[in-house]
Amino acid sequence: MRRRFRTSAVAACVTAVALIPAAPSWAEETTPPTINVATLSPSAPTGQNNWYRGPVTLNVSATDDVGIAKFQYSLNGGAAYIDVPVEGAPASATASAVITQEGNTSVRYRAVDTSGNVSAIRSISVRIDTRAPAASYPAITDGHVGHVATLIPTRTDPAPGSGGVAVLNMYLDGKLVPPLPVQTSDLSLGVHTLAVHLSDAASNSAKYTQTFIVTTSFADVGTLITRFVTAGSVPAEVGTALQAKLDQAKALADAGSAKRASQVLNEFVSIAGDQIAPGSARSTLVGDARYLIDQLNGRLAAEPATGLESEPAEGPKFIPDPVLAPLPHNPNADYNVLVFSRTTGFRHDHIPHTVAAIQKLGIAHNFNVDVYDPQLPTVTLPTSPFLSLDTLKQYDTIVFESNVGHPGPLNPITEQPNFEAYMHQGGGYVGIHGAADSFEIGTWPWYGDLVGGFFTNHPNGQNGFGQCGSCIHTEVVTEDNTHPATAHLPDRWMTVDELYNFDRNMRADVHTLLSLNEDSYQRSLNSGNAATNPLRLMNGDHPIAWCQNWGGGKAFSNILGHFRTQYYDDSFMRIILGGIETTADRKDANCSSYRETSLLIEADRAAGLLTAAAADAADAALDIARDSYLATNYTTAIPALNSIVDLANDNASGDAAARSELARQARELREWMQNLNR
């Protein structure tokens, strides 16, 4: 009985179990899927500054113990999600979604499994801008603008765009001009065109051409008279007489007497023609008065069509970083160059491009190129050459290439003394761009004198230039075209670059080769509100490339070179080549400076190599020559330098070798002044 009872109990238990429904498999599945990091297609942005100029494909993937049912993504911070279903609920799934939303979107994405479990949320930035910026000219109404207006294009990037709109090029009546406000008073009356080639940060680009007519009025002519008198181009008493005639003519015109008003305006023309010197002031006032006469008498010519037209244009090209490798050592090379680009502060993105460009010069012009920059591991020397003077002496010149550092990139105890000794023993130095920002102002004064001056600041720019967000246009003046670095350059030329200001005006200390025309960018359309609030620069005198004999060696600085495109420009690289060849003593150059000669005179005086009287006389003459040079009175500088040569040729002035060197330096200064005078 007991055994049968036990069997029945077991059977009953089994039956009971059989009557309880089986739990579904998902009831115990609570593990969320694992979502992987998404990728974008195309992987590289199709525009500049990490922007895409078209749709982007979001590629997502995830794994799960049970199966992925779908992916979801959100374009509005998670407020709403869009489903991307997955067929077959695989344990490992991938999916894609095309993103077209413009602007800088943080795309959230996640995976959901068949149990309803939701993965962690990841996000990826998708920046899309497909629309070019636009331009308009508020000062122009119905195609007309007065003769005292300022034309500044209003530039907009359709929201939500990439912004940073830059004027890549500007054309006035078909001629390329710096992107500056246009004063209509500088234009003749009649029809003109003003075109701007715009690009945004994504490199969407368009060209807008505004055709307009410059007109004038009695009020405009009155304003012009005041401006010309203030500028000194019209004598005050003549301005008073002209204004009286203008007021009389306007009163007659307002009274309906066009004939009499025209007669008074003809008297205005006679005064302007007889009493104002030939030039723009006279021609402008005469032209405006005759316009008013024709207007009063209904004789104005028929007007051409006006308006604003747009057309597609190409934006800045993207230049990828080069793949760097050491340049094989050539035992038959003419000389050796070291490129030093180590940084301990801001790092310029042009550095690898500069290294590659100088290597290319080395191959073409038969010099070896070594590089020391631990941040370029594929090309750098293993240890710093500056730790040993003997190592440095292997190089005929050293290129300091945007090696920004605060503190500086050379150790003041173990490296700086070796570099100073290298220069004292006749070494060469080439400074490019950020070399002027290599050390904190005041920490190494010797280096500041070597480079010529320390960087302080630079104007801001627009990201629409592509890979140079701080670049603006400038006109460069070639001051000395006898140097191998500048002989190929025109007298004036335009470039786009980051334009440094300095802690000093170095003109009296160095031999200036290139300078900036500050008028060409002080009101740049591409630098913040500079168009209406002029930039604070270097007070109109702005050297930007120079050479000098300093510390026993030869030094050359070119502070242009921020924009990586420069290193693919043959004309710019010829400037760098000239600096390398002259500081390496492969080509001659007149790099005389007033500072160098002044230091020579004082050293010779202290050593007793010049008599006190001779040193005093040389100092006085040099002061006259230097002051004349700074005032651009080169004809006055030349006889003062001749007097130093005469003094040096006088046996009574001191030691023969000292006098010979003084005469040589004075002759080089004279040659420089003669060249500038030509």
Question: pLDDT tens for residues 424-454?
Answer: 999 999 999 999 999 989 899 999 999 999 9
Helix boundaries (H) for 172-254: 218-231, 236-254
- Cα 485 from Cα 476, distance rounded (Å): 14
pLDDT tens digits for range 295-342: 999 999 999 999 999 999 999 999 999 999 999 999 999 999 999 999
Q: At what angle do helices 634-648 and 656-677 cross, to 10 degrees?
A: 160
Burial 372-382 (b: 16+ CB within 10 A, else e): bbeebeebbee
Confidence bin at 4 (pLDDT 50/70/90) = very low
Instruction: Please state, for a pLDDT cut of 90, what percent of the chain lies above it.
Output: 95
Please, what is the average pLDDT of the chain?
95
The torsion region of residue 116 among left (phi > 0), alpha (psi -120 to 50) and beta comes to left
Q: What whole-number distance in Å separates Cα of residue 483 and Cα of residue 245?
A: 56
What's the pLDDT score for residue 407? 86
CB atoms within 10 A of CB 360: 16
**What's the pLDDT tens digit per position in 108-131?**
999 999 999 999 999 999 999 999
Half-sphere exposure for 122 (CA within 13 Å, toward CB): 17
Phi, psi for residue 294 in degrees, rounded to 5: -65, -40
* Intervals of CATH 2.60.40.650 along the chain: 34-128
* pLDDT reported for residue 16: 33
pLDDT digits (tens, 9 = 90+) for 600-638: 999 999 999 999 999 999 999 999 999 999 999 999 999
Q: Are 217 and 146 in contact (CB under 8 A)?
A: yes
pLDDT at position 29: 84
- Cβ atoms of 133 and 155 within 8 Å: the answer is yes
Task: Report the b/e string of 598-624 with b at 16+ CB within 10 A.
Answer: bebbeebbeeebbbeebbebbbebbeb
> Which DSSP state fits 224?
H
Write down the residue that tokens 């190409």 correspond to: 314
SS3 category, 446:
helix
Of 175, 245, 225, 165, nearest to 201 by C-alpha is 165
Whole-angstrom Cα distance, residue 472 to residue 574? 22
> Tokens 């400038």 sit at which residue?
474
DSSP state of 87: T
Interval 53-62 mean pLDDT: 98
Residue 277, SS3? coil
pLDDT tens sequence across 403-423: 999 889 999 999 999 999 999
Q: Identify the H or E element spanning 625.
A: helix 612-630
Is there a contact between 365 and 577 (Cβ–Cβ < 8 Å)?
yes
Tokens of 352: 């690898």
Average pLDDT, integer, range 87-95: 97
H, E, C per residue of 353-375: HHHHHHHHHHHHHCEEEEEECCC
Residue 551's pLDDT band, with cuts at 50, 70 and 90, is: confident
Using alpha carbons, list the distances in angstroms from residue 79 to 44, 73, 84, 102. Answer: 29, 10, 17, 18
**Cα→Cα distances 18→12, 14, 22, 42, 607, Å:** 10, 6, 9, 58, 117
Place of tokens 């009557």: 19
Cβ-Cβ contacts under 8 Å for 676 (sequence gap 6 or more): 479, 480, 629, 632, 634
Instruction: Work out the average pLDDT over 384-391.
Output: 98
Has residue 23 got a pLDDT over 90?
no
Beta bridge partners of 569: none
Q: What CATH code would you report for 335-456+501-515+540-584?
A: 3.40.50.880
Separation between Cα atoms, residue 298 and residue 295, nearest integer Å = 5
- Alpha helix (H) residue ranges in 366-444: 389-392, 416-424
Burial of 135 (0-12, 13-18, 19+ CB in 10 A): buried
Cα torsion for 480, 486, 492, 498, to the nearest 10°? Answer: -110
Strand ranges, E, within 489-535: 492-497, 501-502, 511-517
Q: At what angle do helices 351-365 and 570-583 cross, to 10 degrees?
A: 70
pLDDT tens-digit map of 227-283: 999 999 999 999 999 999 999 999 999 999 999 999 999 999 999 999 999 999 999
Helix, strand, coil shares of the chain, percent, nearest 5, are: 35, 25, 40
Angstrom CA distances, 100 to 61, 105, 130, stand at 20, 10, 10
What pLDDT, in 10s, does the model give residues 150-183?
A: 999 999 999 999 999 999 999 999 999 999 999 9
Q: Is 88 helix (H, G, I), strand (E, B) or coil?
A: coil
Across the range 648-672, mean pLDDT stands at 98
Half-sphere exposure (Cβ direction) of 450: Cα atoms closer than 13 Å? 29
Is the pLDDT confidence value at 26 over 60?
A: no
CA atoms within 13 A on the CB side of 382: 0
Q: What are phi and psi of 421, to 5 degrees?
A: -65, -40
Residue ranges of the chain that CATH labels 3.40.50.880: 335-456+501-515+540-584
pTM score of the predicted model: 0.91
Q: Model confidence at 11, in pLDDT bands (50, 70, 90)?
A: very low
**Both structure tokens of 387:** 């730790």
The predicted model gives 558-570 an average pLDDT of: 98
Question: CA 232 from chain center: how many Å?
Answer: 35
Check pLDDT > 50 for residue 655: yes
Q: What percent of the chain has pLDDT over 70?
A: 96
Q: Are 30 and 119 in contact (CB under 8 A)?
A: no
Nearest one of 287, 241, 290 to 265, comparing CA atoms? 290
pLDDT of residue 678: 87
Residue 9 — pLDDT band, cuts 50, 70, 90? very low
Q: What is the mean pLDDT of residues 477-489?
A: 98
Contact 114, 83 (CB under 8 A): no
Provide mean pLDDT across the span 372-386: 98
Rounded distance, CA 81 to CA 88, Å? Answer: 21
Here the tokens at position 130 are 């497909």
Distances (CA, A) of 675 to 401, 477, 635, 678: 30, 15, 11, 5
Helix (H) or strand (E) holding 237: helix 236-254
Q: What is the pLDDT of residue 19?
A: 39
* DSSP code of residue 433: G
What's the one-letter identity of residue 495? T
Give the distance from CA 391 to its chain's centroid.
35
At 336, is the secondary structure helix, strand, or coil?
strand
CATH numeric code, 34-128: 2.60.40.650
CA–CA distance, 260 with 266 (Å, rounded to integer) = 10
Q: Answer for the pair 599, 552: CB distance below 8 angstroms, yes or no.
A: no
With beta carbons less than 8 A apart as the criterion, state whether 580 and 367 touch: yes
